[in-house]
Structure 1
Amino acid sequence: TFVWRKNVERNIDKLKRQLAVLLSQVDDAIAQDNAIKTESIEITPAIICEITSRLKEELSKEAPQAKEAKKALREKKKQIKEIEKKAVSLADYEQKKETLGKRNSFSKTDPDATFMRMKEDAMNNGQTKPGYNLQIGTENQFILNYALFPNPTDTLTYIPFMCSFAARYGHLASTEVADSGYGSEENYRFMEENGIEAYVKYNMFHKEQRMHYAPSPFHQDSFFYNAEQDYYVCPMGQHMERIGTKLDKTANGYQTESVRYRAQNCEGCPLRGSCFKAKGNRVIEVNHRLKEYKRKASERLTSEDGIKHRGRRCIEPEAVFGQMKADYGYKRFRHFGKDKVEMDFAFFAIAFNLKKMCRKLKKAV
């Protein structure tokens, strides 16, 4: 019931090659008369349909009398039928590729669903199932906002999720608390530009807070950096000079910039085996903007307010998810299609908030 991007792209390339061979096997005279040059055209279902129509028209004009000529005509018609058959398959795969969009997979029974690894794995073998990445925003364990995404990772969901929050309430949240799955340069920049007081962890935050944590002296984060002259110093005291920059783009199109630094001479260095194993001199790539964002995030998270917010986060969305799954048995959606699934969860969220409010009012009496 699943469709994978790699299989679709591989089959599209395979069909295009087969169609090119079949078109070249059709009578060269017919192809020449109709100015068909299969080597220079882009093979698409529409183009193939046009070519086969013109070839059929030319073949219908032929009325051979000799036995060999009739046999050749039947062979040409057979080839055209094979071309039409493969053109239909090509159109089907092109449609699947369009349905995939930026995703790597989708389910045939629910094209909006993407195959993801679930936390509940009955077979304990990491199997994938079609699903949606549900994001919720909570306060005092009330569901304030929700959104469904086709990508399994949380990093790319933050900005569209906050935009949906702003569309729902007319403003962005003034204070946000989130785990390390959202700690990317793109997200930190969005928070800073919109004046959001963010307590968002990054991937190494918890490890850095351990009592006996000691970073490796050979990791680039442990190297001394001279900001004025823009160079790093390796464990042996060599200056690592700047040699250029590297630009990358995220799946959302956000451009990141990393600066590359290279050591002057690593040959014969006694620490080379522990420092790095590649050939030549060591080169490191540093994203200064992300590094500064992480420094600011660490200061906020380790402050008095940050410790308080971090303590509350584990009893906010995690508690809500726990109540949804364990207390109310809401472990899977009951409809197909993103629109219906959103409606499904909207009713659940309304009922969840009403029950929570009634319980709080009852305790207050």
Structure 2
Amino acid sequence: MISLEEQYVDGTKIESKANKYTFVWKKTVEKNRAKLLEKTSAALAQIKEQIRLNGGSDIKEEDSEPATSAKDVKRSARLCERQAKNLPKAKLTGREKQKLNTQIDHLFKASDKLCEYEKSLDILGERNSYSKTDPDATFMRLKEDAMNNGQTKPAYNLQIATENQYWTNFALYPNPTDTLTFKPFLDKYKKRYGKQSKSVTADSGYGSEENYEYLEMEEMMGYVKYNWFHKEQHKPFKEDAFNQANFYYNKDDDYYVCPMGQHMEPCGQRQTKSDSGYVSVITLYRAQRCDGCPLGSLCKKSKGNRTIYVNHKLNAYKKEAFLLLTSEEGLKHRSQRPIEPEAVFGQMKADMHYKRFRHFGMDKVYMDLGLFGMGFNLKKYLGIKR
């Protein structure tokens, strides 16, 4: 029934119980925090100068450092408050002293607001958003979009692995894309059962250089599609002579050949870093004489000689993946995937109406989902029909 030798992995987004208008955006928090710090620094400079001109004690050098946090602002506000109380009474009129005290009060309020911003940034971590009523939820675009306007809602990215439509693993993630969930999800499977499955099947949302490398290191058969897996098999794609994927590559001498027969030699390398921190190496190849080429208008849109960007390591992984996916075993796994996790999600959402969580917070949501998964497996095992 379950051998734990195969995993069919897929993900879906489940809406949080939180209201959809409770969003906190990271960019907004960072922008408002920076503006408030700038205003606070200017206000601090004015207050300190006013205190100095009216007979206050000199401010120590360490207390003159620019405020960069709520703690710094509060410390400076307390210092200014003490010095303002000790100013000679004859130096300030009542109105001037009231104005000074008001400015200092604004500093304390600013420190409280900065504290809120810093707390929000701590909650956000690497995420771009969270919900005020469910801080563990992240705003994502869902397929269930009644208004069809692409509105984001607080949700969790649910990943499951199935075998014969039984749940064998599940996890929740705050990031909306599936690519970054693949490695930690498979690690969780290994930790749960003390071993890794022999094969894993997933769609193109999981096909990345980092994930293919992980499968290679774990010695797993990865029937994982990549972007353009289907498109590159279509006739228009194959017959497009100006598509760099169709350029001839001489591996021994490391050069490409453009449609006019000109060699494109390597001219440099770049490194790109993914959101997970994985570094990829991109090699640049450039033609030497594109000026006056009769095919120039068809071959490139930019001025100058055409440059192509090639990730050789990823291309090698794609070739391996293509051979696996188009093999007899690969075709079997690909045909099985739609009736594995996709069918489970269909039963979960359409038949059982499990489209939205009923609790707040990751811990409670995990508990709720775990109980649901147990019930789902038990229902299937007993052959109960709804």
Fold similarity call, TM over 0.5: yes
Shift of 1:279: 2.0
Distance 1:332 1:194, change over 3 A: same
Aligned residue number for residue 9 of structure 2: none
Does the CA contact (< 8 Å) of 1:20 and 1:39 recur in 2?
Answer: no
Question: 1:212, 1:233 → 2: CA distance?
Answer: 20
- Opposite residue 263 of structure 1, the aligned amino acid is A
Question: 1:33, 1:145 → 2: CA distance?
Answer: 64
Distance 1:274 1:212, change over 3 A: closer
Shift of 1:212: 6.2
Question: 2:161, 2:382 → 1: CA distance?
Answer: 20
The one of 307, 317, 320 aligned to 2:331: 307
Number of residue pairs matched by the alignment: 360
The one of 86, 92, 115 aligned to 1:91: 115
Aligned residue number for residue 248 of structure 1: 272
Aligned residue number for residue 116 of structure 1: 140
Does the CA contact (< 8 Å) of 1:112 and 1:150 recur in 2?
Answer: yes
Question: 1:30, 1:262 → 2: CA distance?
Answer: 64
In the alignment, structure 1 segments of 5+ residues that lack a partner are none
- The answer to whether structure 1 residue 61 and structure 2 residue 86 are counterparts is yes
Aligned residue number for residue 50 of structure 1: 75
Q: SS at 1:111's partner residue?
A: coil
- Give runs of aligned pairs for residues 164-183 of structure 1, distance below 5 A: 164-183=188-207
Question: 1:40, 1:282 → 2: CA distance?
Answer: 51
Does the CA contact (< 8 Å) of 1:133 and 1:150 recur in 2?
Answer: yes
Question: 2:320, 2:132 → 1: CA distance?
Answer: 45
Aligned residue number for residue 3 of structure 2: none
Does the CA contact (< 8 Å) of 2:67 and 2:73 recur in 1?
Answer: no
Shift of 1:37: 7.2
Shift of 1:208: 2.8
Does the CA contact (< 8 Å) of 2:140 and 2:152 recur in 1?
Answer: yes
Question: 2:174, 2:110 → 1: CA distance?
Answer: 31
- Opposite residue 317 of structure 1, the aligned amino acid is P
- The answer to whether structure 1 residue 17 and structure 2 residue 38 are counterparts is yes
Question: 2:267, 2:71 → 1: CA distance?
Answer: 49
Shift of 1:75: 1.7
- Opposite residue 35 of structure 1, the aligned amino acid is K
Shift of 1:20: 1.2
Question: 1:71, 1:312 → 2: CA distance?
Answer: 80
Greater shift in the superposed pair: 321-330 or 22-31: 22-31
Question: 2:90, 2:202 → 1: CA distance?
Answer: 80
- Give runs of aligned pairs for residues 1-365 of structure 1, distance below 5 A: 1-28=22-49, 30=51, 33-35=58-60, 40-65=65-90, 69-210=93-234, 213-359=237-383
Question: 2:45, 2:62 → 1: CA distance?
Answer: 9
- Opposite residue 49 of structure 2, the aligned amino acid is D
Aligned residue number for residue 17 of structure 2: none
Question: 1:248, 1:38 → 2: CA distance?
Answer: 41
Question: 1:265, 1:88 → 2: CA distance?
Answer: 62
Greater shift in the superposed pair: 1-10 or 82-91: 82-91
Shift of 1:213: 4.9
Q: SS at 1:298's partner residue?
A: helix
Larger RCO (alpha carbons 8 Å, 6+ apart):
2
Alignment RMSD, CA only? 1.8
Q: SS at 2:60's partner residue?
A: coil
Does the CA contact (< 8 Å) of 2:48 and 2:80 recur in 1?
Answer: no
State the identity as a percent: 50
- Opposite residue 64 of structure 1, the aligned amino acid is K
Question: 1:255, 1:302 → 2: CA distance?
Answer: 29
Question: 1:213, 1:282 → 2: CA distance?
Answer: 20
Question: 1:111, 1:147 → 2: CA distance?
Answer: 18
- Opposite residue 76 of structure 2, the aligned amino acid is I
Shift of 1:215: 4.7
Greater shift in the superposed pair: 183-192 or 329-338: 329-338
Greater shift in the superposed pair: 71-80 or 337-346: 71-80
- Opposite residue 216 of structure 1, the aligned amino acid is D
Does the CA contact (< 8 Å) of 2:29 and 2:121 recur in 1?
Answer: yes
Q: SS at 2:127's partner residue?
A: coil
Q: SS at 2:356's partner residue?
A: coil
Instruction: Tell me the TM-score normalized by structure 2.
Output: 0.90
Does the CA contact (< 8 Å) of 1:64 and 1:70 recur in 2?
Answer: no
Shift of 1:237: 1.3
Question: 1:64, 1:33 → 2: CA distance?
Answer: 18
Question: 1:342, 1:277 → 2: CA distance?
Answer: 50
Question: 1:319, 1:43 → 2: CA distance?
Answer: 52
Distance 1:63 1:86, change over 3 A: same
Does the CA contact (< 8 Å) of 1:24 and 1:38 recur in 2?
Answer: no
Greater shift in the superposed pair: 189-198 or 75-84: 75-84
Shift of 1:326: 1.2
Shift of 1:73: 2.0
Distance 1:220 1:180, change over 3 A: same
Greater shift in the superposed pair: 141-150 or 118-127: 118-127
